[in-house]
Structure 1
Amino acid sequence: MPDVVFDIIGTCIGYDVMIDAITNRIGDKLLKYQCNPELFFNAWGTACERDFSYLSQIGHYQTTKKILRATFFRTLYQAGIEDPKEFANEEDLEYLSNEWLKLKCRPELPELWSKLRENGLTIWCLTDGDRERVKGYFKNSNLEMPEENIISCDSLGVGKPTPEVYTYMLSKLPNNGKDAWFGAAHMWDCCAAKKAGFKTAWTNVYEKYPCEDIFGAPDIIADGLIDLGDKIIAATV
């Protein structure tokens, strides 16, 4: 049976913990600048993903945790806050950084993985996060994931969506990943995986709109995680 490789943060792991943390710590102050906590987190997280990718491309790889910390005050400034270090302090950043370690799986994930495994598919994780942090997310959610099936870009020194990451992942799979699936909530991730040779399945749990006119069409477009699993199983079994 084929293997299914999942992106983790954003796809399997939701961001509710961080949005709640921002709300509790600096939410009221953000609203005075017409910036709600979810919008701030999306700006912060998206900028972190961009810088992670760009630094990887130029051969200056940095971990996502380090980049997230480094870009906090910059994001506040770009939200219209002229003096970010008066608005927030290092204690605020430390609190939010610690909350980042407490993220949890999306509620549908245990059922999705159970369905896939019951139908004979093997699940793998390919993540820009470090392995220990990702293991912690699964522990936070009481979800089992074999450590040997968690592949972190930290071990490669190069991040997604660099093509080498996906070809390396394929090489780890039986038969070099022939007929393997890649599941993600990021269309850029699906686009890169498809170019490498994966069949791709995108779910709308994070981006909502697939924007196929710029990314191309994945093999599957799913409404949520359970629909993602059902469609992979239907296309495989």
Structure 2
Amino acid sequence: MSSKPRVKNIVFDVVGTLVSHEHFYTVIEDRLGPSLKKHSLPARLLGFAWLESAEREYTFLSLSGAYVPFAQVFEAMFFRVLHFAGVPEPRSVANEEDVKYFMQEYKKCEVRPGAKLCIDTLKREGWTVWAFTSGDRERVVGYFEQGGVSIDAESVVTCDEIGVGKPELRAYAKLKEQIGVGEGDEVWFAAAHGWDVSAAGRAGFKTAYCTVLEREPLEDVFGKMDVVADSLEGLAEKVMSAEAKACS
């Protein structure tokens, strides 16, 4: 009797992993750079702090049972972040129109070099590729369309739709339900966020971590991943190699 063919599923995080923040940092510099310099505040650091603070508040709300879409939390946090950055009067540096502009420009972030090749390589070798994101579907699909990444809307699962934010383990369990992964079936999770890959591993996924965003894997904090690579192309090759060994 022939054994059941092994289904090769892999899920990618989107923003930070397949999509870079560089455009977002650039537009903050272009719009507010001179005003921020008066407070010795680099635009890149402000953008990073804004993103990280929003992710924390979004996650804490989800953990407490009050899910709020990331975009809503993100937009609301801007002036609070300026306050924590040491700007005495945040609205003297920027206004609501600036925030609306940044939110629109955030939708124009670009896919990373190598993202298209990574996904194309996996799909060519018979992998089913999914995306799991805290972003809204329209924005994420827009990133893929602009960057020529062959992940269609039907292969995108959003936290907004399942009502639970990453990195709650329930989110990854619901992800498995959405993509039809049964009990005992193996599926990979790939991201450039250590916390995301680590949580997916505890939820039963095989783990693939790319250092393109954070550079330092910090295994003493997040644990050892099944695959670690410095580029998205390298990640695809290592995942395929690991899967081939598992099947041999």
Q: Please indicate the TM-score interval, normalised by the length of the shorter structure.
A: over 0.9
Which structure has more relative contact order (CA 8 Å, sep 6+)? It is 1
Task: Indicate the larger mover: 137-146 or 151-160.
Answer: 137-146
Aligned to 2:106: 100
The one-character-per-residue Cα deviations of 1:103-134 (angstroms, maximum 9, x if unpaired) are 12112101001111111111000100111111
CA contact (8 A) 2:116 2:147 kept: no
Partner of 2:4: none
1:160 aligns with 2:127: no
Decide which of 5, 9, 29 is 2:15's aligned counterpart: 9
Residues of 2 paired with 1:71 and 1:147: CA distance? 28
- How many angstroms does 1:177 deviate by? 6.8
Gaps in structure 1 of 5+ consecutive residues: none
Matched, 1:19 2:25: yes
- Deviation at 1:176? 4.3
Identity %: 38
Q: Is the 8 A contact 1:3 1:177 kept in 2?
A: no
Larger mean Cα displacement after TM superposition, 162-171 or 7-16: 162-171
Equivalent residues in 2 for 1:26-45, closer than 5 Å: 26-45=32-51
Helix, strand or coil: the match of 1:182? strand
- The amino acid across from 2:152 in the alignment is P
Residues 1:202 and 2:233 aligned together: no
Query: What residue in structure 1 maps to residue 187 of structure 2?
Result: 180
Give the structure-1-normalised TM-score: 0.96
**Does the aligned pair in 1 maintain the 2:211–2:229 contact within 8 Å?**
yes
Q: Distance in 1 between matches of 2:37 and 2:200?
A: 38
- How many residues matched? 237
- Partner residue of 1:189? 196
What SS does structure 2 have at the residue aligned with 1:4? strand
Are residue 61 (structure 1) and residue 67 (structure 2) matched?
yes
Q: Where do 5+ consecutive residues of structure 2 fail to align?
A: 1-6
Q: CA contact under 8 A between 2:110 and 2:143: conserved in structure 1? A: yes
Larger radius of gyration: 2
What does residue 88 of structure 1 align with? 94
Q: What is the RMSD computed on CA atoms of the aligned residues? A: 1.3
Query: Once the 2 structures are TM-superposed, how far is the Cα of residue 82 of structure 1 from its aligned partner?
Result: 0.5
From 228, 232, 237, the counterpart of 1:225: 232
Tell me, yes or no, if the aligned pair for 2:62 and 2:164 is still in contact at 8 Å.
yes
